[in-house]
Structure 1
């Protein structure tokens, strides 16, 4: 199990936060593969992670892409993938979502169509406990 720590000093070089105040312990690390697909209808599935020791009161989850676009991002979907998102399921379980449900007008008679889109880059999910 990896152990991490840090030290923060003010302008006078006085330690204001240090490793004696807390330590971070990595509980899990999972790679989520890239995905680029769409489909009709709505999805409700997810990737379930069961992480022994996970407690949302003392832990946090980070999701970091393994690849980055080589250009400035425009602030709207341009075809370059996003990172997945997570949701606490209670207990030691976390859900990872790799898609978005959306509804858009068909242009015919005020009707709408449901669709899901999955456009995520390969990402690393880490679960860390603050001790």
Structure 2
């Protein structure tokens, strides 16, 4: 099995080793912050396992093709307009009805709508096949 040793592999691997060492030191030197150290150890371990997995694959394995890029761009475009329409509708509801909608309460809803519409549209366009 051949491992890649370019900068895109060595940087995350060194960061993961640093996270594990920092987590161990933080856990032993400051017992009150044991949970933070434990989280650093877990995150560093996950990052190192991911780095080893990526290091075993060739660079071309992770490059998306032209169709995937086109589908992702199209899904992002439509997800943006869905979010814009949701913001406009919430603004109109706030302006013309007695319901008071504050942005800080609606922002989570807007973000979730944007993220899930992007994921669903990307899945749909990839499943659909040929994009026109």
- Shared fold (TM-score, shorter chain, > 0.5): no
Q: Considering only CA atoms, is the larger Rg found in Structure 1 or Structure 2?
A: 2
In proportion to residue count, which structure has more strand?
1
TM-score by length of 1: 0.24
